[in-house]
Amino acid sequence: MTDTPQYVLLDVQNGIAVLTLNRPKAYNALKIDLLKELDALLDRLEADAGVRVLIITGSGEKAFAAGADIKEFSDFSPAEAEQMARFGQSLFSRIETFPKPVIAAVNGFALGGGCELAMACHFRTASENARFGQPEIGLGLIPGYGGTQRLPRLIGRGRAMEMLMTGEPIDAQTALQWGLVNHVFPQEELLPRTRAIAEKLARYSSLPLHKIIRTVADGADDLERGLTAEAARFAECFATEDFREGVSAFLERRKPDFKDR
């Protein structure tokens, strides 16, 4: 880890750690260095007995995270893509089984990798302007950080299929209705209200909290097999012309012209 985290801010008060993804000009897009910082901060927070609950949120009022950084991953080879998918997946699985409760406070767009990060947290709150989506299809790609596995588990297969296949985002009220988030708050109340939930958890014994987290994760049917398949198929996309076209179109702000190859 760099000594001073650059992309993730950390604030610890009364046993509650707030991790803020901090690239607001790029809608907090998940650069690999940002994910590495997050991983290193998790080491620190796991070891610190004074930290009892984590909240992950985004900087600004626009985005939680608008996905992986498209500019960064656009020229990855399939081998690099698979390696990065496995790193991201293992980081997100680490969050899912983290020994202390982790709540995502989603303050705007949670798209692609951003939605996948929120889904890896133990549960989610959202601001009224939050939007959730897996827009990878528009880039000629599939989700690579667990989206094909966690989205159907959270909202059901049919709803997940529609979101994955259309790439269309859903708004906060739909996310609430579908069980993707537990609460929707006005933007200015999102952190204080989420903190109030965290404070309640912080008063409980950490032993059963940890056992709940582990036991719920143990019961998830064959997540690991699904993640392995996702990483392999995600990597295959990087060898296609359509993926190059999808990413170029996004960067050039035009509609993609896919050729099925």
Choose between 88 and 101: whose C-beta lies nearer to ligand DAK: 88
Structure tokens at 189: 């109340």
Q: How many residues does the chain have?
A: 261
Q: Does 111 bind ligand DAK (CB under 6 A)?
A: yes
Q: Does 98 bind ligand DAK (CB under 6 A)?
A: no
Choose between 101 and 113: whose C-beta lies nearer to ligand DAK: 113
At its nearest, how many Å lie between ligand DAK and the CB of residue 77? 10
Q: Does 71 bind ligand DAK (CB under 6 A)?
A: yes
One of 61, 116, 199, 241 is an active-site residue; which one?
116
The alpha carbon of 199 is separated from its chain's Cα centroid by a whole number of angstroms, namely 23
Binding mask 129-158 for ligand DAK (x = CB under 6 A): ------xx--x----xx-------------
> How far, in Å, CA of 141 to CA of 190, rounded?
32
Whether the CB-CB separation of 68 and 106 falls below 8 Å is answered with: no
At its nearest, how many Å lie between ligand DAK and the CB of residue 224? 17
Q: Does 185 bind ligand DAK (CB under 6 A)?
A: no
Q: Using CB under 6 A, which of the segments 25-33, 150-158, 170-178, 215-223 binds ligand DAK? A: 25-33
Long-range contacts of residues 182-187, Cβ cutoff 8 Å, at least 24 apart? 182/123, 182/124, 182/125, 183/125, 183/126, 184/125, 184/126, 184/127, 184/128, 184/130, 185/125, 185/126, 185/127, 185/128, 186/127, 186/128, 187/61, 187/107, 187/127, 187/128, 187/129
Structure tokens at 247: 């990413």
Q: Does 256 bind ligand DAK (CB under 6 A)?
A: no
Q: Does 178 bind ligand DAK (CB under 6 A)?
A: no
Q: Does 88 bind ligand DAK (CB under 6 A)?
A: yes
The alpha carbon of 228 is separated from its chain's Cα centroid by a whole number of angstroms, namely 18
Choose between 94 and 193: whose C-beta lies nearer to ligand DAK: 94
Buried b / exposed e over 90-120, threshold 16 CB at 10 Å, is ebbbbbbbbebbbbbbbbbbbbbbbbbbbbb
> How far, in Å, CA of 27 to CA of 169, rounded?
16
Number of residues binding to ligand DAK, judged by CB under 6 A = 24
Can 236 be counted among the known catalytic residues?
A: no
At its nearest, how many Å lie between ligand DAK and the CB of residue 56? 16
One of 136, 162, 189, 241 is an active-site residue; which one?
136
Can 136 be counted among the known catalytic residues?
A: yes
User: Quick one: which of 9, 10, 70, 137 contacts ligand DAK (CB under 6 A)?
Assistant: 70
Sheet holding 16-21, edge to edge: 8-13, 16-21, 53-58, 102-106, 123-127, 183-185
User: Quick one: which of 29, 45, 163, 175 contacts ligand DAK (CB under 6 A)?
Assistant: 29
Residues that bind ligand DAK (CB under 6 A): 26-27, 29, 66-71, 73, 76, 81, 84-85, 88, 109, 111-113, 135-136, 139, 144-145
